[in-house]
Amino acid sequence: MDACVDWAVEVRSLASLHKGARGTVSAVTLDGVAGTTIGTTIGDRAGSTVARRLLEVGFVPGECIEVIEEIRPGGDPIAVRIGSSIFALRRREAQAVMVQLERPEVL
């Protein structure tokens, strides 16, 4: 088998991932839908969106990310490590973050 096999890349919303999932942020969208123009506002004076705030705190494309914990029951919120920081996010907020998943190591 050729060592240069082009593996299919799986990109999923952070909200759909579970404890132990790792990958790289590929995009931050408005409300988890690529190409949308209206985002959920946070309620501050500037009318910030969830996507804007996530970008401001470090959820930027190319950054490594790992789901380190899910609160039981229900799995909401989730604890996420991004870079050297840990954040707790509600799944509705995590919907905006698209993650390119790591392939499991093949032995």
Report pLDDT digits (tens) over 15-26: 999 999 999 999
Question: Distance between CA 56 and CA 80 in Å, rounded?
Answer: 16
Structure tokens at 14: 């952070």
Residue 103 pLDDT level (bands cut at 50, 70, 90): confident
Instruction: Give the domain ranges of the chain.
Output: 11-101
46 pLDDT more than 80: no
What superfamily does domain 11-101 belong to in CATH? Ferrous iron transport protein A (FeoA) (2.30.30.90)
Strand boundaries in 1-107, DSSP class E: 11-13, 22-28, 64-70, 78-82, 85-89, 97-101
